[in-house]
Amino acid sequence: MKNSRTEKGGAPRRGNLLFAAIALLLAAAVVEAGARALLLFKESINERRTPSSAQGLGPHKMPDPEHPGNFVLRPGVSFTFNELLETHKAEGRVLAVESMLEIQRERGIDSDETVLAINSLGFKGPEIGDDPLKVRIVAIGDSCTFGSFIDKLSYPRSLEKALRARGVDVEVINAGIPGHAPRNTLYNIDKLKALKPDIAVVYIGWNGLYAEQIYFGLSARLGSAKVVRKLINMAGRPSDPVEAALWLYKKPKRPNPRDPRIKTVSTMSVSFMDDVSRIVSEMKSAGSETALMTLAGLYAPGAAPSEEALKKGHLPEFTDNPFVLAALTDRYNKLLRETARKEGCALLDAASWSLSEFVPRDDFFSDSVHLTVSGEERLAEFVADGIESSAREISERKRR
């Protein structure tokens, strides 16, 4: 009789367990569906968002009047060294202030010298000339092309000086815009093509890499895990963009060459590669000889970062390991080399070149991606070496 009662009671208990399991699975499915919907909604909001000065554009940039969500340089503004310094101080840009003061000490910049001007067409530097005999070169990119706020020390201006010193009459237009990813550059592509440059140098990708949505482990597959990971990443993060950037810059770094995430980023696809390919093809369609440049970063693949590199570098939200960023950059550079081959354009392999030229490496970087003034000057010489022959041939054709 005892066994009979146990058997009779077992069926309801098993039924209850089965019901609970089904309810748990349904709840998990609802949570997962909700998390995925939330992620899609956030992505759509980010696509439509129009940056404003409150989001850290600064006085030299403004929302793009033609493309909501994009931003451009503000035509016609100029700043002396002191005006720019005071602006950075007022906006709480601690690192920019430190960098400017260091450059002033090293290069003897006068406080009343006009160091930054945006011309009437919205490009950093002087007004564009109309001499048909000059070889026109446009440097396309982000803050690494825009370079130092002290324009005469930026890589495009140093490139212009280097080629003129070699006897090639060139005009270099700095079309770099801080914060731009390749998608932003495509909004401006017609404006760039209208310049009718003889040569276009494309040096872009850091903002895209830092903004990549990369998840590891369970969060790579489940939307709910992605939401949890985002909440963890946001914990303690300031809402102010400038303070948030500084917070991210100071995030602790944990170098680990055996991190399994290195393998993940070493084989992943990069979401904006089609945008890079289109920039190249569009500039080629405008008749420009186009060169694609790889990215040289502070953290090199397989190389242990120095203490100074760990101190000055900064990492994306998705990792605290410099080796992961180095592997991701290396992956992107491999894809850039493939893109140059497919598009039939010149390759300026700054990443490979920098391994022997930037020694010790941390002497030439102000953070993980931006070069010091001496680094920009060396990069300019490297680019000059790569395009001098083409520029000289174009110049000779113009003068026939």
pLDDT digits (tens, 9 = 90+) for 273-282: 999 999 999 9
List, for residues 243-273, the tens digit of each pLDDT value: 656 666 677 899 999 999 999 999 999 999 9
Question: In 10 A of CB 267, how many CB atoms?
Answer: 8
* Phi-psi group of 125: left, alpha or beta (phi > 0 → left; psi -120 to 50 → alpha; rest → beta): left
pLDDT of amino acid 50: 38
Q: Quote the percentage of the chain above a pLDDT of 70.
A: 80
Say if residue 138 is in the same domain as residue 285.
yes
Report, as an integer, the average pLDDT of 189-217: 91
Number of domains in the chain: 2
Mean pLDDT computed over every residue of the chain? 86
Query: How far is the first Cα of the chain from the last one, in angstroms, to the nearest whole number?
Result: 112
Residue 227 neighbours by CB distance under 10 Å:
19
| Residue whose token pair is 């931003």 | 71
Residue 112 falls inside a structural domain:
no
pLDDT at residue 358, rounded to an integer: 97
Q: What is the pLDDT of residue 142?
A: 97
Q: Are residues 158 and 12 in the same domain?
A: no
15 and 136 in a single domain? The answer is no
Residue at 24 is within a domain: yes
Q: ω into residue 63 within 30 of 0, thus cis?
A: no
pLDDT higher than 70, residue 56: no
Whether the pLDDT of residue 136 is over 50: the answer is yes
Indicate whether 220 pLDDT > 70: no
* pLDDT over 60 at 88, yes or no: yes
| pLDDT given for residue 41 in this prediction | 54
* pLDDT number for residue 214: 72
Residue 90 has pLDDT above 90, yes or no: no
Residue 268 near residue 327 (C-beta atoms within 8 A): no
> At 324, is the pLDDT very low, low, confident or very high (cuts 50, 70, 90)?
very high
Q: Tell me, yes or no, whether 380 lies in a domain.
A: yes
In this structure, of 15-24, 56-65, 212-221, 299-308, the range with the lowest mean pLDDT score is 212-221
pLDDT value at position 249?
Answer: 66
Pair (295, 150) in one structural domain: yes
User: Residue 218: its pLDDT value, please?
Assistant: 45
Q: How confident is the model at residue 13 (pLDDT cuts 50, 70, 90)?
A: confident
Residue 381 lies in a domain: yes
Same domain, 197 and 333: yes
Do residues 333 and 295 touch, judged by C-beta distance below 8 A? yes
Interacting residues of 385 by C-beta distance below 8 A, sequence separation 6+: none
Q: Assess whether pLDDT exceeds 80 at residue 219.
A: no
Asked if residue 9 has pLDDT above 80, the reply is no
At 107, the pLDDT band (50, 70, 90 cuts) reads very high
Q: What is the pLDDT of residues 182-198, one digit of tens each?
A: 999 999 999 999 999 99
Average of per-residue pLDDT across 70-91: 93
Rounded Cα distance between 291 and 207, Å, is 20
Judge whether residue 341 has pLDDT over 90.
yes
Q: Is residue 59 part of a domain?
A: no
Within a domain: 356: yes
Given this model, what pLDDT does residue 23 score? 73
45 in a structural domain: no
More confident residue, 31 or 371: 371
Per-position b or e across 5-36, b if 16+ CB within 10 A of its CB: eeeeeeeeeeeeeeeeeeeeeeeeeeeeeebe
Position 242 confidence tier, pLDDT thresholds 50, 70, 90: low
* CATH code of residue 185: 3.40.50.1110
399 has a pLDDT exceeding 60: yes
- The residue segments making up the domain with residue 3 are 1-38
